[in-house]
């Protein structure tokens, strides 16, 4: 049962190698867990459960039953018909699975911009998003720069003319709200909108900025260069279409 559950949970990872690095587990040993040939030590099991946000029942019960029994805020009967799993699902043609490059102005420094890559995936008929904050951005907040701290995830929901995403880091008590709408283009692979931080008005820095997503699919020739360029950058380092869609110099309305 553990092997079957881990195989299902691991599908949301970019790769098994990357997952093992984040968990701090030897790839060969993790493969033995996947094959059901070995069981992790209690401390390793705790690390795995914490990462996937499950509990030790993954040793004995199918992970989908554990997830369903947990319910969750968006699945509560009070809102399930409005924003939960009973709401309208998001078709893959409207927001496909795969990698996206994003760009926006920095909240803390108006002269700089943030580029990055996120991965969109579907599970249990729902759409999710996963990525990592730039090291420089988390360092400026006095936080560690390890992958577990920098990782963020989000739940993607369909809107009348686009999508909405609620995003947060693991264990954080802050979040961001993203809205994106598709932009007609030659390859039909751009979305533009905005991102807003959930902070007080008097907190230093800006609270809302325009946001651009560019769909890269799973093409390594596109994804790898985008990943290497992730982080803080100047306006000149942005792609021309990104700069155009961000409408730099034009006030947000």
What are the tokens at 191?
């979305």
What are the tokens at 207?
């609270």
Residue 239 falls inside a structural domain:
yes
| Mean pLDDT on 41-62 | 84
Residue that wins the pLDDT comparison between 245 and 201: 245
Residue that wins the pLDDT comparison between 130 and 186: 130
Q: Output the pLDDT for position 69.
A: 46
> How many domains in the chain?
2
Residue 227 falls inside a structural domain:
yes
Full domain range(s) for residue 201: 98-246
Give the percent of the chain with pLDDT over 90. 45
Q: Note the pLDDT tens digit of each residue in 168-216.
A: 988 888 899 999 999 987 788 999 999 999 888 877 778 999 999 999 9
Residue 127 falls inside a structural domain:
yes
d(CA 215, CA 158): 17
Residue 202 falls inside a structural domain:
yes
Number of other residues whose CB lies within 10 A of the CB of residue 105: 21
Confidence of residue 235 (pLDDT cuts 50, 70, 90): very high
Confidence of residue 243 (pLDDT cuts 50, 70, 90): very high
Whose tokens are 């699902």? That residue is 89
d(CA 150, CA 133): 5
Q: Output the pLDDT for position 14.
A: 79
Residue 87 falls inside a structural domain:
no
What are the tokens at 28?
């060969």
* φ and ψ at residue 245, rounded to 5 degrees: -70, -30
User: What are the residues facing 214 on neighbouring strands?
Assistant: 101, 190
- Show Cβ contacts of residue 48 under 8 Å, excluding neighbours closer than 6 positions: 6, 23, 25, 40, 58
4, 34 Cβ separation under 8 angstroms? no
Are 220 and 122 contained in the same domain? yes
d(CA 168, CA 172): 6
Q: What is the dihedral of CA 47, 50, 54, 56, to 10 degrees?
A: 40
Q: Note the pLDDT tens digit of each residue in 60-91.
A: 888 766 654 445 667 666 776 777 655 667 88
Here the CATH number for the domain that contains residue 173 is: 2.40.128.120
């Amino acid at each position: 049962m553990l092997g079957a559950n881990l195989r299902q949970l691991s599908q949301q990872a970019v790769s098994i190698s990357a997952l093992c690095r984040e968990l701090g587990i030897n790839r060969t040993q993790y493969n033995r867990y996947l094959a059901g040939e070995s069981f992790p030590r209690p401390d390793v099991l705790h690390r795995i459960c914490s990462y996937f946000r499950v509990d030790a029942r993954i040793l004995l019960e199918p992970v989908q039953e554990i997830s369903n029994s947990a319910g969750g805020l968006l699945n509560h009967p009070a809102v399930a018909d409005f924003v939960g799993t009973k709401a309208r699902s998001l078709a893959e043609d409207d927001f496909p699975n795969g990698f996206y490059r994003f760009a926006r102005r920095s909240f803390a420094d108006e002269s700089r911009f943030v580029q990055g890559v996120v991965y969109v995936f579907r599970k249990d008929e729902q759409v999710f998003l996963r990525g990592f904050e730039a090291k420089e951005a988390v360092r400026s907040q006095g936080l560690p720069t390890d992958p577990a701290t920098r990782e963020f995830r989000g739940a993607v929901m369909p809107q009348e003319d686009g999508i909405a995403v609620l995003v947060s880091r693991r264990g954080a008590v802050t979040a961001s709200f993203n809205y994106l709408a598709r932009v007609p283009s030659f390859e039909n692979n751009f979305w533009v909108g905005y991102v807003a931080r959930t902070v007080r008005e008097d907190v230093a820095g800006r609270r809302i900025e325009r946001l651009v997503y560019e769909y890269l699919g799973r093409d390594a020739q596109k994804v790898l260069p985008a990943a290497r360029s992730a982080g803080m950058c100047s306006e000149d380092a942005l792609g021309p279409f990104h700069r155009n869609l961000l409408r730099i110099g034009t006030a947000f309305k």
